[in-house]
Amino acid sequence: MKASIAPQEGGLLVLELQGEEEDLGKALDYLKDRRIGIQALSKDITRDEDRCVHCGVCVAICPSEALFLNQANWEAKFCNSLKKSL
């Protein structure tokens, strides 16, 4: 879905995988064999403004709908109307 990778430093890659459970297991094993760390999005998700790559995943899964993707510049932002009420 999106990648932010720097040579010799590493980076972040957001993937959405679909398929049969056995095939997904093989895909994850392939990534692990190449020393690629994996974190399922159903786990602890936090938004760090300095590291955000604006992939929009947080927008899609935010239970309170406090985030939106600004279509003018494709940046993930907090909804202003919710900010005022918090």
Q: Which residues pair with 75 in a beta bridge?
A: 70
Q: By CB neighbour count within 10 A (0-12 exposed, 13-18 middle, 19+ buried), where does 60 fall? A: exposed
Q: What pLDDT sits at residue 83?
A: 42
pLDDT one digit per residue (tens) for the chain, 86 residues: 566 677 877 777 777 778 899 999 999 999 999 988 887 766 555 667 788 888 888 887 776 677 888 888 888 887 755 443 33
Q: What pLDDT sits at residue 45?
A: 57
pTM: 0.44
Q: What pLDDT sits at residue 22?
A: 94
Q: What is the phi/psi pair of residue 66, to 5°?
A: -80, -5
